[in-house]
Structure 1
Amino acid sequence: MSGGGEERDRDGAPAGDAPGRPATRRNRLRSAALWGAIGGFAFLVAAQGYLLVGGSLPFGYAWLFGLAATVAGATLALAYVAEHRIARRGAKRRT
């Protein structure tokens, strides 16, 4: 126990805080970039699955990768904007 009278975990944070890294701008951007990569790759997996079951696309692979990059960018932006709102809403429910 520290001199403040409240219990703390081994990192020095109050024991009741949520786990994970603090929501700094850099951490939010890193998280959003990872979600963007997941969104882009998920789009490519869905397109590949469509091609494997016999579908055809009205454009070539260059357009497909460009569209996947657009999906990744949109996912990144949405994740960056929405992350703090979701975390804040979750914190309100815990209290």
Structure 2
Amino acid sequence: MADDSVGRVGSGEDGSEETANPPGAPMTARTRARSAALWGLVGGFAFLVLAQGYLLLDGDLPFGYVGLFALAGAIAVASGGIAYAVEHRLHAKRRT
């Protein structure tokens, strides 16, 4: 176990080390879409949590649960679309 090359990522035989994903590397379309879908889920569920909290505090909404879930779906699609459109700009500026 005295070999120091064990545990290093991308260490070649010539002693050079390569990182698996260097900072500033362009994102693939698949990872951008996956990230946007997850941000969409976060936005939709956050809306549902806030609406449920409002209802628990004895509030009244002008629509029922079907409308609530439809609105949460619309918010999820909108937040996912915004995340997909903006994420590559943030990544290019290294602000992620």
* Greater Rg over alpha carbons, structure: 2
More helix by share: 1
Whichever residue aligns with residue 40 of structure 1, its letter is G
CA deviation map 1:24-55 (0-9, x unaligned): 11110011000000000000000000001110
Whichever residue aligns with residue 60 of structure 1, its letter is G
Aligned mate of 1:18, from 19, 23, 42: 23
Whole-Å separation in 1 of the counterparts to 2:68 and 2:34: 25
Whole-Å separation in 2 of the counterparts to 1:86 and 1:22: 11
- Identical amino acids, percent of aligned pairs: 51
- In the alignment, structure 1 segments of 5+ residues that lack a partner are none
**C-alpha RMSD over aligned residues:** 2.7
Moved over 3 A (4+): 1-7
Give the structure-1-normalised TM-score.
0.77
Whichever residue aligns with residue 55 of structure 1, its letter is G
Give the structure-2-normalised TM-score.
0.76
- In the alignment, structure 2 segments of 5+ residues that lack a partner are 1-10
Match of 2:78 in 1: 74
Whole-Å separation in 2 of the counterparts to 1:81 and 1:4: 41
